[in-house]
Amino acid sequence: MSEVLLEMRHVTKKFPGVIALNDVSIDLRKGEILGIVGENGAGKSTLMKVLSGTYTSREYEGEVWLEGKKQEFNSVADGQNTGIAMIYQEVNAFMDSSIAENIYVSNQPGNMFVDYKKMYQDTQKLLDMVGIEANPKTIVRKLNSGQLQMLAILRGMANNPKILVLDEPTTALTDKEVDVLMDFLTNLKKQGVSCIYISHKMEEIYRICDRVTVIRDGNVIETRETKDWSNQDELIQAMIGRKIENMYVKTPRKAGVPVLEVENLTVPHPTIRNRNIVNHVSFTLRKGEILGIGGLVGAGRSEILEAIFGKLTEGVTKKIKVNGKEVNITSPKVAIENGLGFVTEERKLTGFVDTMSILHNTSLPSLRYLPKKLFIDTKTEKELVQKQFDDMRVKAPSMNSLVANLSGGNQQKVILGKWLMKNPGILFIDEPTKGIDVGTKADFYKILDDLANEGISIVMVSSDMPELVSVSDRVLVMSNGNMTGELNGDEINQANVMRMAIAED
């Protein structure tokens, strides 16, 4: 066994109300590729932010040791200088500079003046190494997404790191490009560079990782040699295997007639050309059911809701029927006219108007439908809002309080209330309980269950696995923009969702 290069000892990182990492210890050996797997929100990114110096050494408990020396990073630059190179999912390139200028950003060769000759030569060597057929002087905007991802890796390599950390590096790559990356990493390993490889793709993990660490709910569950994880199912079981608390309510109910039929919904990818973030997706929502949509972050789940609701329109193709009648939803206004409501994921950004009170926020979607054409019938408005305020049991001094001053759970109740005041037949909810404490979560599950029993049809996107499988009457799973499966009745369990969520198309 080769020597230990990096050790993270007993790392604990707390956020208000949440323990993101709980006494996590991992080690990385010289010339090894360590896979780290876990669900969305398991704590992988937080762990890497500790390692990179994004969180300074005062912001977490525990220690980071590199080559037998304790490290205290005060900035990302400190982490880079000690030889840790982070490569993130999103590519942050200088699009209008050359490849060489992108690779050598803070470390150009030469003293006072940049030694361009050497810079281009070194860049060419790196390009040859990963098989990018491009000139070092090529402007980065001309590269395709795969080449951009490789460029990000080269940028990391320019500092001659001892450790390369890759977070989901292959989401934008084609199969051939994945092969090149795998060969490249295997080569690096032979040269003694160690690598931390974070991925949801089990095939890649099995292909190149020497050992695999499973993280779940901020805890390290287990680290084993890859060959000792007998199969993918065992890994998936380890990733999701938490006990489910009894906070979910699901009344047995029968779904009614179709209320929303979506046919061939396609949404182009916002940053990658010639790719769809939602790819020819079709489904039907029935009256009084809770339809869950599962999948990994970036699989295109939120975009489905946004495109149907008319929030996303550019390049979207869709055929939508509401209550059996074909409708052309060109804007949220039209969606609301057709009885749709949408509780968005980013409630602070899109859920409410922060300069307005609970009263004014709650009545906003219904404003147009209040009696009187031009003027606001404040008496009716107050009565209707008061009903939602009471039904939702919002904890606030009064209806005139600013929504911005409420807790996350109460804000979410106001947002839900504002849609219910409009009496929607169909309600979209994106990550209903994100950032909400456990007690309020239970309130929400009860509310959702009641709504479905009253005949409101709900589409719920959720990354919270236990929530998804416990609340939904039916689950659709997305992977890379494609719908990879539908689960009914007893088939709805976390292992099935996970298997479909990481399915290759």
Partner 1 sequence: MNNSKFSMKDVMKVKELGALLPLILLVVVASVINPAFMGSNNLFDILKTTSYTTILAVPLTMLMSSGRMDMSIAAATALGGIIVAMAETNGVPLPFAILLGILAGALIGVCNAILVDYFKLPGFIATLAVSNIVDGISAVVTNNNPIPGISGAFKAIAQTRLAGQVTITVVYALILAAAGFVVMNRMKIGRMILAVGGNAEAANLAGIDVKKIHTGLFILVGVFGALSGVLYCSRFSSAQLTAGAGTSLTIMSSVIIGGTAMRGGSGTIIGSVLGCMLFAVITNALVVMGISTNWQNVVYGLILVAALLIDYFRQKSARRA
Nearest 5°: CA angle at 74, between 70 and 79?
A: 65
**Given the complex with partner 1, which of 21 and 305 has the nearer CB atom?**
305
Shortest Cβ distance from residue 351 to partner 1 (Å)?
A: 6
Q: Exactly one of 114, 370, 442, 503 binds partner 1 (CB under 8 A); which one?
A: 370
Task: Determine which residue in the list 106, 113, 325, 375 makes contact with partner 1, applying CB under 8 A.
Answer: 375
Q: How many residues bind partner 1 (CB under 8 A)?
A: 31
353 lines the binding site for partner 1 (CB under 8 A)? yes
Question: Which residue number, 422 or 474, has a Cβ lying nearer to partner 1?
Answer: 422
Binding of residue 349 to partner 1 (CB under 8 A): yes
- Interface pattern 221-260 for partner 1 (x via CB under 8 A): ----------------------------------------
**Binding track over 444-473 against partner 1, x by CB under 8 A:** ------------------------------
Q: What distance in Å separates the CA atoms of residue 483 and residue 281, rounded to the nearest whole number?
A: 6
Q: What is the full DSSP assignment across 138-172?
A: SBGGGS-HHHHHHHHHHHHHTT--SEEEEESTTTT
Distance, in Å, from the CA atom of 34 to the CA atom of 25, rounded to the nearest integer, reads: 13
Q: Which two tokens stand for residue 406?
A: 């409420």
Tell me how crowded residue 111 is: count the other CB atoms within 10 A of its CB.
7
Among 77, 257, 376, 438, binds partner 1 (CB under 8 A): 376
User: Does the protein bind partner 1 through residue 342 (CB under 8 A)?
Assistant: yes
Strand 219-225 and strand 290-295: the pairing is unpaired
Q: Which of 186, 355, 400, 423 binds partner 1 (CB under 8 A)?
A: 355
- Do the Cβ atoms of 264 and 319 come closer than 8 Å? yes
Lookup: tokens for 314: 């550019």
Which of 274, 267, 270 has its CA nearest to residue 174? 274
Matching residue, tokens 């991802």: 149
Phi, psi values for residue 304, rounded to 5°: -60, -50
CB nearer to partner 1: pick between 121 and 330? 330
Least separation in angstroms between residue 435's CB and partner 1 is: 17
- Encoded one letter per residue, x for contact with partner 1 by CB under 8 A and - for no contact, window 396-425 reads ------x-xx------------x-------
Token look-up 């008061």 returns 386
The answer to whether the beta carbons of residues 307 and 318 sit under 8 Å apart is yes
Binding site for partner 1 (CB under 8 A): 309, 311, 331-333, 335-337, 342, 344, 349-356, 360, 364-365, 367-368, 370, 374-376, 402, 404-405, 418
